[in-house]
Chains A and B, each alone.
Chain A
Amino acid sequence: MVAKAAGKANLTSVLLASWICPGAGHVLLGKRYRAALYFAAVGGLFWLGLALQAYFVFPNTPGETFALFKFLGAFASGGHFFIAYILQLGMGNLDTFKAALTNEVGNTCLYTAGILNVLVLVDAWDLHSGRKK
């Protein structure tokens, strides 16, 4: 059933699914264990970051260097970013976040989650195109 689905899944749906829910693209490609690892790794790092007082930076946030890259780093986490955005987590008075001792470690985890999700997307692309097994 999964192998049949893997044959039918097109690249756009694989990449979109992978971005919105890390690992979902790999489920479409029939790589369930890999999908579980990617989901746990990206989600784990993202929510660990927020638990450690990470905050979201938007391109128009004043006083932030590389604001666009920071935004893209968090935005690459896909669905996790949107859930946190809807729940208003990692937003508010930035000075409160910056005062926390764990803030920088949290930010590192948050951006790493996004960058890992980009790697997951590339991996899904490689699997779909047959460059990888």
Chain B
Amino acid sequence: MGLLLVGFLFSLLVSGVFAFVERGDSRERLRYFIKAFGCFFLSILLAGWLMRQLPF
């Protein structure tokens, strides 16, 4: 299984739970989910890219 897919699944599941725990209104929840998912997934991509630059 590709680690990119794992990162995608991780972001999807965690953002889903966060959205339901943090927001009550369904419209607000969707906005929060999209924001959290984007932040998680972009952070994973950025951290992965940064770690590729390390010499060890």
Residues of A at under 8 Å CB distance from B?
A: 34, 37-38, 40-42, 44-45, 48, 51-52, 102, 105, 108-109, 112, 116, 119-120, 122-123, 132-133
Select which of B6, B20, B21, B24 is within 8 A of A48 by beta carbon: B6
Interface string of B21-56 (1 = CB under 8 A from A): 100100000000000000000000000000000000
A123 touches B6 (CB 8 A): no
B 1-20 to A, binary, CB cutoff 8 A, 1 in contact else 0: 10100100110011011101
Q: Pick the contact of A120 from B1, B14, B17 — CB < 8 Å?
A: B17
Bound-state CA distance A44–B10 (Å) is 9
By beta carbon, the residue of chain B nearest A109 is B10
Cα–Cα distance between A132 and B18 once the two chains are bound (Å): 14
> What are the residues of chain B within 8 A of A132 when measuring CB–CB?
24
* B-to-A contact residues, CB < 8 Å: 1, 3, 6, 9-10, 13-14, 16-18, 20-21, 24
Complex interface: chain A residues within 8 A of B18 (CB): 119
B17–A119 contact, CB under 8 A?
A: yes
- Which of B17, B18, B20 is the most central at the interface, judged by chain A CB atoms within 10 Å of its CB? B17
Residues of A within 8 A of B9 (CB): 44, 48
B13 near A44 (CB under 8 angstroms)? yes
| Complex-state Cα separation, A51 to B10, whole angstroms | 14
Q: Give the chain B neighbours of A45 by CB distance below 8 A.
A: 10, 13-14
B11 smallest CB distance to A (angstroms)? 11
Given A37-B16, A38-B20, A48-B6, 20 additional A-B pairs, CB 8 A? A38-B17, A40-B13, A41-B13, A41-B16, A42-B17, A44-B9, A44-B13, A45-B14, A48-B9, A48-B10, A51-B1, A52-B1, A52-B6, A102-B3, A109-B6, A116-B13, A116-B14, A116-B17, A119-B17, A123-B20
